[in-house]
Structure 1
Amino acid sequence: MRGTTRKVAVAGISAAALVLAGCGGGGNDGENTDAAAKTGGDITVRGCNPENPLVAGNTSETCGGNVLDVITAKLVKYNVDTAQPEMDIAEKIETTDNQNFTVTLKKGYKFHDGTEVKAKNFVDAWNYTAYGPNAQVSSYFFEPIEGYADLQSEDPDGEEGPQKAPEPKAKEMTGLKVVDDYSFTIKTAEKVANLPIRLGYTAFAPQPDAFFADPKTFGDKPIAAGPYKVDNWTKNAEIKLSKFADYSGEKKGVADTITFKIYQDANAAYADVLAGQLDLTDEIPASAQVDEKYKQDLPDRNIQKPVGVIQTITTAPTKVDPNYGPEIRKAISMAIDRQGIIDAVFNGTREPATGWVSPVVDGYKKDVCGEFCTFDAAKAKEQLAKAGGFKGGKITLSYNADASHKEWTEATCNSIKNALGVECVATPVVDFSTFRTQIRDRKMKGMFRTGWQMDYPSIENFLTPIYATGASSNDGDYANPAFDAKLKEAAAATDTAESNKLYQEAEQMLANDMASIPLWYSTTTAGWSERVTNVKITPFGVPDYASISLK
């Protein structure tokens, strides 16, 4: 994920579009460096259960995404300090009109099985992910490419009915063409000014020929082109990676092996770090954040850094639970004492959210949510009465129990109950995989915690993948044609300032509809054992695993 800085060669895109504004990076709050650190050895880090097999186009959550970030290489990578896009497998990405792009690859870049990464490995992988019948969760990321719609088909009687969706019109997008082994072209249906920035996201990784031979079992031991490869995945226990000797990138991994030890509880992972049984946890439990206890437990072995992550509450789609309409959501949002919860549970290490976009990205605008994200018990109760009252009995707020969410969800429910006079219950689900499966299958009722870790550094990434109609991470099935149209208008703008302004207008529509309930902008707090050093947190809120080394 590191290398010599290279500007993305894209005509018509200003330098400002490629650099994060106000992004924290480096310094004592972002890294711990030791020039005398060792190369090699084995390290262990906290992991959690991936929702799906480790397929780049079918992973949209952090448990699997953290692993894929270490084992994959893409056309573009993001600088670990600034999130600035830099070339990786791509030698250059060129365009004159922000609609027709030519990608030229570096020669000699290898997959873990020794085969060379070629243009067809990108084109074939992207077509596979976009093809509707393959049911890949990241299919939506390819929607801008010409011909994407022809790879989709609609089930005439829905998923529950006996009829099956017809075969799509095509299996390949017309907007992708292999020119030769080391170049291909991309044509988008409309102008997409930030397309090169997006291409560092995991969904755009290439796949080796071996993937297409058996895609169903491939994800248990994937083959990619990054600095580490998967050696073994013991379900519910650990995922073991080893350094790829023939890695073609400029910055190779340091440790010989990285083992993601899967934990069901953040407290257990933290205890193991204290005991020297785990080298790194990227989640400090709430109990250790009170009075900054973790700083006493782990002196000079902790990091806290603002990152491109936002925590929200989403309500079940209306067809699943009709009791949480937009006006009810506004009342609930006004009943949440964000600052009080941040102070009591997170020891002041979060910032109350005033909108749906993280402050670390260019285009962020403050106070988009207005009064609906401002705690006011009296106004919240008035809003609830105006909405006709809550008719669902008790409010529920579900969370995955294998991470540190119990304290804040309970505090949030207490705030809601005290302000609205309606019972609110924080409801645990055994682990993240089960939790996400229930949400994806539309079996989760009531409210549930949601969060977004940016895929690429753009205001657009906090809007399109989460709230566009039919988007892959649109857990609440939010749909607003005017919002969708504004997103397209913003994507087509060639001027960065104008594009950001249009995206801000789209974000304002989320406030009018209260598409979800913003809670707070996150920091990542991590701690490590006495064995390791060179720990750094990226602007995405993820440890730079490849740089961690033994003392």
Structure 2
Amino acid sequence: MTIKKVAAVTSAAALALTLAACSSSSDSASGSGSGSEGGDNYILANGTEPQNPLVPGNTNEVGGGNIIDNIFSGLVYYDKDGKVHNEVAESIEPNDDHTEFTVKLKDWKFSDGSPVTANSFVDAWNYTVRESQLGAYFFEPIKGYKEGVESLEGLKVVDDKTFTITLAAPEADFGQRLGYSAYFPLPESAFDDMEAFGETPVGNGPYKLSEWNHNQDAVIVPNDEYAGERKPQNDGVKFTFYPSQDSAYSDLLAGNLDTLDAVPDSAFAVYKDDLGERAVNQPAAVFQSFTIPESLEHFSGEEGKLRRQALSYAINREEITDTIFQGTRTPAKDFSSPVLPGYSESIEGNDVVSYDPERAKELWKQADEISPWSGTFSIAYNSDGGHQSWVDATTNSIKNTLGIEATGAPYPDFKSLRDEVTNRTIKTAFRTGWQADYPSIGNFLSAVYATGAGSNDGDYSNPEFDKKLKEAGSAANTEDAAKIYNEAQTMLFEDLPAIPLWYSNVTGGYSEAVDNVAFNWKSQPVFTDITKQ
């Protein structure tokens, strides 16, 4: 889980390389966008070759995810702002302490006409856990979870349209998670041959898969059996698997591509002029930071708290996001993301993420009175991820403000860095971040800062913070839970287990041939709403 998350928050250049890793080595995409095959006028979108067969529980990368999110429907769906709406679920009713949820289903069919039943969900979820698929960890809250277990004790089918979910502990925002792809249903036919099913999946979403030409493209078309609110307003979507974001951007400018969800960093300085009102630059559900292990000399106890605060005040986030990222990042005001329900930029204590050189020097001096500083402050990063520019700018800001030696500590690749972080052998601060699985502030806090959490790379532990997380988990509703999560963030701003830096923005654009284009909280175009002229 940690690896997935940290990998997800690379720079735009690294993201382009990551997304292109499974695509064709030839630039077959260029000039491919006539948009008309067999009389169909498709929306032309950029994509990448899916890493695995298209099985929801075993897909956690962008290429496959873009297709799966459109050909399957979950119990709920997220609108472009990340708000939760019932989809296949008629209702999801929690008990008083949010440890049991009763799910009732609407009348719904897969694209082959077979019914979506309670077993369609329960069997799919059990399969994901039993086969230890990539999405198995999403079922950890359910009673009886253990990797590879035959079936989850907490899942019970009542009848064709009803099943119950029993959790091991209260989780007020559990219902918000159920629109994530790991929770999608599977038809009974999938279990005959899952690998074959993944090549020609039968879903229950707004679209169905029409073609998948490996290492070239994939086409999805409207699903006539779809019974939900997200009816496609177009003839379908053709995802062309580009070898680079630069070639995709060139096709966008040439009119051979309709939507692009990641402008290459080579175009940051010009894409707004190139595209005008069709340029997109808005916050996404990605938070970036760096973490200072409490095991490092000078960073434990009261001295460590003072030094973390001083370092945070010493960083000129506005200047870095303007000059290094050219406005494609937004300075952080909390530990989550501004696109999430319940987000607040006015959390008590968050002045520590403002640039205040005098305050930084004062706090550093107080820390020196406890134990004089010695050595160099370093931030580790992977050289293959395009991070050097911002790390250099951040450490220069620290150096110039505090008058200490500060520098980047490059590792040759992502694995080298993560191995030392995971093994707790790293001797410096290191870059960190989080990308949302589902639209909840709790997703950004519990997995990263709770005592013993799987992605708590800095080994932060605060019993009062843990208590607040449990309080949020047992809140009466998600709105109350979000308020409590924000109360918990006041402790994070005091302790700074990670130093918040900025939120990643989605930087994209669209062609003159399409209308009604909007990018959602997950940085993806809302394909169902797009119309083609």
Q: TM-score, normalized by length of structure 1?
A: 0.72
Give the alignment partner of residue 312 of structure 1, picking from 288, 292, 317: 288
Pair 182,266 (structure 1): closer, same or farther in 2 beyond 3 Å: same
Residue type matched to 2:220 in 1? L
Residue type matched to 1:299 in 2? G
Q: Distance in 1 between matches of 2:217 and 2:298?
A: 38
Give the alignment partner of residue 223 of structure 2, picking from 234, 244, 247: 244
Q: Distance in 2 between matches of 1:416 and 1:53?
A: 46
Higher-helix-fraction structure: 2
Q: Distance in 2 between matches of 1:63 and 1:389?
A: 47
Residue type matched to 2:468 in 1? K
Give the alignment partner of residue 464 of structure 1, picking from 446, 449, 465: 446
Which has the higher mean CA deviation after the structures are superposed, 352-361 or 501-510? 501-510
Give 1:299 deviation, angstroms.
Answer: 2.9
- 1:379-420 per-residue CA deviation (whole Å, 9 max, x = no partner) reads 37938977886878964323765xx86754554455456554
Residue type matched to 1:311 in 2? F
Per the alignment, residue 144 of structure 2 pairs with: 147
Per the alignment, residue 71 of structure 2 pairs with: 71
Tell me if 1:234 matches 2:198. no
Per the alignment, residue 188 of structure 1 pairs with: 167
Give the alignment partner of residue 492 of structure 2, picking from 510, 524, 548: 510
Q: Distance in 1 between matches of 2:125 and 2:135?
A: 10
- 1:453-503 per-residue CA deviation (whole Å, 9 max, x = no partner) reads 4612x322322344446656x273745373444322211121666533432
Pair 325,357 (structure 1): closer, same or farther in 2 beyond 3 Å: same
Q: Where do 1:381-460 residues align within 5 Å? A: 382=364, 395-398=379-382, 401=385, 408=390, 411-412=393-394, 414-415=396-397, 418=400, 420-424=404-408, 447-448=430-431, 450-453=433-436, 455-456=438-439, 458-460=440-442
Per the alignment, residue 125 of structure 2 pairs with: 126
Q: Distance in 2 between matches of 1:232 and 1:118?
A: 27
Pair 189,249 (structure 1): closer, same or farther in 2 beyond 3 Å: same
Q: Distance in 2 between matches of 1:204 and 1:511?
A: 33
- State whether residues 440 and 475 of structure 1, in contact with CA within 8 Å, keep that contact through their aligned partners in structure 2: no
Which has the higher mean CA deviation after the structures are superposed, 172-181 or 513-522? 513-522
- State whether residues 352 and 520 of structure 1, in contact with CA within 8 Å, keep that contact through their aligned partners in structure 2: yes
- Structure 2, unmatched stretches of 5+, are 1-38
Residue type matched to 2:519 in 1? I
| SS of the residue 1:140 aligns to | helix
Give the alignment partner of residue 272 of structure 1, picking from 229, 245, 251: 251
Pair 487,395 (structure 1): closer, same or farther in 2 beyond 3 Å: closer
- State whether residues 358 and 364 of structure 1, in contact with CA within 8 Å, keep that contact through their aligned partners in structure 2: no
Q: TM-score, normalized by length of structure 2?
A: 0.74
Tell me if 1:295 matches 2:272. yes
| SS of the residue 1:463 aligns to | helix
Q: Distance in 2 between matches of 1:68 and 1:437?
A: 29
Q: Where do 1:104-183 residues align within 5 Å? A: 104-110=104-110, 112-131=111-130, 134-148=131-145, 151-152=146-147, 170-183=149-162
- 1:166-204 per-residue CA deviation (whole Å, 9 max, x = no partner) reads xx7x53222211111221112233443333322222221
Q: Distance in 1 between matches of 2:58 and 2:49?
A: 15
Task: Give the RMSD, CA atoms, in angstroms.
Answer: 4.1
Give 1:550 deviation, angstroms.
Answer: 2.2
Residue type matched to 2:405 in 1? G
| SS of the residue 1:310 aligns to | strand
Give 1:66 deviation, angstroms.
Answer: 3.2
- State whether residues 180 and 437 of structure 2, in contact with CA within 8 Å, keep that contact through their aligned partners in structure 1: no
Give 1:520 deviation, angstroms.
Answer: 1.8
Q: Distance in 1 between matches of 2:247 and 2:71?
A: 26
Pair 257,314 (structure 1): closer, same or farther in 2 beyond 3 Å: farther
Q: Distance in 2 between matches of 1:192 and 1:550?
A: 42
Q: Distance in 2 between matches of 1:414 and 1:407?
A: 11
Pair 101,69 (structure 1): closer, same or farther in 2 beyond 3 Å: same
Per the alignment, residue 224 of structure 1 pairs with: 203
Which has the higher mean CA deviation after the structures are superposed, 255-264 or 294-303? 255-264
- Structure 1, unmatched stretches of 5+, are 1-38, 153-167
Q: Distance in 2 between matches of 1:530 and 1:78?
A: 27
Pair 480,59 (structure 1): closer, same or farther in 2 beyond 3 Å: farther
Give the alignment partner of residue 461 of structure 2, picking from 462, 480, 484: 480
- State whether residues 242 and 257 of structure 1, in contact with CA within 8 Å, keep that contact through their aligned partners in structure 2: yes
Give 1:518 deviation, angstroms.
Answer: 1.8
- 1:410-444 per-residue CA deviation (whole Å, 9 max, x = no partner) reads 544554565542331667869xxx89998998799
Residue type matched to 1:452 in 2? Q
Per the alignment, residue 492 of structure 1 pairs with: 474
| SS of the residue 2:482 aligns to | helix
| SS of the residue 2:277 aligns to | coil
Per the alignment, residue 542 of structure 1 pairs with: 524
- State whether residues 273 and 529 of structure 1, in contact with CA within 8 Å, keep that contact through their aligned partners in structure 2: yes
Which has the higher mean CA deviation after the structures are superposed, 69-78 or 293-302? 293-302
- State whether residues 338 and 520 of structure 1, in contact with CA within 8 Å, keep that contact through their aligned partners in structure 2: yes
- State whether residues 44 and 260 of structure 1, in contact with CA within 8 Å, keep that contact through their aligned partners in structure 2: yes
Q: Distance in 1 between matches of 2:435 and 2:450?
A: 15
Pair 250,375 (structure 1): closer, same or farther in 2 beyond 3 Å: closer
- State whether residues 323 and 390 of structure 1, in contact with CA within 8 Å, keep that contact through their aligned partners in structure 2: no
Q: Distance in 1 between matches of 2:425 and 2:239?
A: 28
Q: Distance in 1 between matches of 2:65 and 2:483?
A: 30
Residue type matched to 2:251 in 1? D
- 1:239-293 per-residue CA deviation (whole Å, 9 max, x = no partner) reads 4434434333343324444233345654443233112233211223445444xx3
Pair 103,46 (structure 1): closer, same or farther in 2 beyond 3 Å: same
Percent of paired sites with the same residue: 37
Q: Distance in 2 between matches of 1:306 and 1:364?
A: 14
Per the alignment, residue 521 of structure 1 pairs with: 503
Which has the higher mean CA deviation after the structures are superposed, 435-444 or 225-234? 435-444
Give 1:50 deviation, angstroms.
Answer: 5.8
Tell me if 1:354 matches 2:353. no
Per the alignment, residue 186 of structure 2 pairs with: 207
Give 1:206 deviation, angstroms.
Answer: 1.2
Residue type matched to 1:450 in 2? G
Q: Distance in 1 between matches of 2:425 and 2:234?
A: 40
